[in-house]
Structure 1
Amino acid sequence: MIGTRNIANSIQANYRYFVLFLVIFYAVGFAGLSVPATRPFFVHLTPFALLLSSFIVGLFHSKFSAKTIFVFIFIYIASFIVELIGVNTGSIFGNYSYGHGLGIKLFNTPLIIGLNWLLLVYVSNSVMELSNWPLMLKIVGAAFLLLGYDVLLEQVAPQLAMWTFSESAVPVQNYLAWFLLALLFSLVINLLKINTKNRIAPVVFGIQALFFAMLLLTLN
């Protein structure tokens, strides 16, 4: 127990170095994706970037109780199933298909997409924990944060070989589904009192949002 506490304290004490590492990591990624010659290589690193970001956020999570792990697994599985149904039927987000940018797929659905949902739901709720808003406003606010994030992401996802919609424009159906799913998962996290107070999670959310905003200006 003492050893675990010492490790946790050491991680917290090195917070600024983790932030610096994330800034450099995403800056290098931005540079690599901005250059056509290096873009294919950096696209293949997308799953690694997601795994690394999730790992760092996990290091700063306060306590992994059995309930917390259960909720995290639920969000991963539930979001993966929703995406699986969505990409194979077109009935949830619209007609779209995944590219190779998110790595290994099962039934046309990247295995890492559930982790992506879990990370985004967690960090958006962590951002809302910085406010003094009432609980329901925090939940709705987290869902709107994810919606805004998705608006950015959808503009660059095709260039990053993540996914592509068959329509020329992203359908409104997609944004509505994103918001409702984010709202549901935020409800689960807050009603079950999963602690998302995390020093580095809002930083990850901000860096990723800035990362995609800069790519939007560069690639389009």
Structure 2
Amino acid sequence: MGIIGLSIAATRPLFIGLTPLALLLSSFAVMLFHRDHRLKVWLIFVLIYLLGLSVEMIGVQSGLIFGNYKYGNGLGWKVAETPLIIGLNWLLLVYTATSLSSRLKIARIFQVLIAAFILLTYDLILEQVAPKLDMWSWDNNIIPLQNYLAWFALALAFSILLVYSKTKVTNKLAPLILLCQFLFFVVLNLLLP
């Protein structure tokens, strides 16, 4: 439904406006299948949210982390020119990628590296369509290498936090949500002008 709505110029603004709701619903659905309800785990989730949001705020204001970019209106309410939902997006993406990589019976360090590479690949696709969805845009429409390095580093750090805190991210829905989002952006890259 979202692909169709975003592909039609007349309905695109409406569907762009629904993006924060889609992220909230995806996050809620993933958390319905989350089974580790220790206080420590929820504090880690809050920490990832706050760190993700803070890094993005610093990045938008300074250009030092990801490069020079600004957020549009596609991700909803902003504080310090940064959408409040972006911290939740970091949590959702890291959780789903780590849930997928943790299914592999390999050393934890390789699980976190794979999760970070999954999210780097995700970002390579997302960056191409984000400006078309009024999520964010780059100065001179040039995505700097610095952005991808920062994405990888943050994804790695957050995944390390989940894995080495022994947070149980075994979740039946998480890999499916990640795959759906990935395919969603791949298709939009092909359809949007």
TM-score by length of 1: 0.87
Matched, 1:147 2:92: no
Structure 2 matches for 1:8-87, cutoff 5 A?
28-87=1-60
Letter in 1 for 2:44: V
Superposed CA deviations along residues 42-80 of structure 1, whole A, max 9, x for unmatched, are 000000000000000000001221001110000000111
Identity of matched residues, %: 51
C-alpha distance in 1 between matches for 2:149 and 2:81 = 22
Structure 1 residue 132: Cα displacement: 1.4
User: What is the aligned partner in structure 1 of residue 93 from structure 2?
Assistant: 120
8 Å Cα contact 1:95/1:167 also seen in 2: no
Q: 1:198 aligns with which of 156, 171, 179?
A: 171
User: What is the aligned partner in structure 2 of residue 174 from structure 1?
Assistant: 147
User: What is the aligned partner in structure 2 of residue 20 from structure 1?
Assistant: none
C-alpha distance in 1 between matches for 2:107 and 2:28 = 29
Q: Secondary structure at the match of 2:131?
A: coil
Letter in 1 for 2:99: S
Letter in 2 for 1:46: T
Structure 1 residue 159: Cα displacement: 0.5
- The runs of at least 4 aligned residues of structure 1 exceeding 6 Å deviation read none
Q: 1:158 aligns with which of 113, 116, 131?
A: 131
8 Å Cα contact 2:36/2:167 also seen in 1: no
Structure 1 residue 167: Cα displacement: 2.9
Q: Secondary structure at the match of 1:157?
A: helix
C-alpha distance in 2 between matches for 1:32 and 1:65 = 39
Structural RMSD (CA): 0.7
C-alpha distance in 1 between matches for 2:171 and 2:23 = 17
Q: Which has the larger radius of gyration?
A: 1
Superposed CA deviations along residues 10-52 of structure 1, whole A, max 9, x for unmatched, are xxxxxxxxxxxxxxxxxx0011001111000000000000000
Letter in 1 for 2:168: N
Letter in 2 for 1:173: Q
Where structure 1 has 5 or more consecutive residues not aligned to the other structure, the ranges are 1-27
C-alpha distance in 2 between matches for 1:112 and 1:60 = 21
Matched, 1:103 2:76: yes
Number of aligned pairs? 193
C-alpha distance in 2 between matches for 1:132 and 1:47 = 34
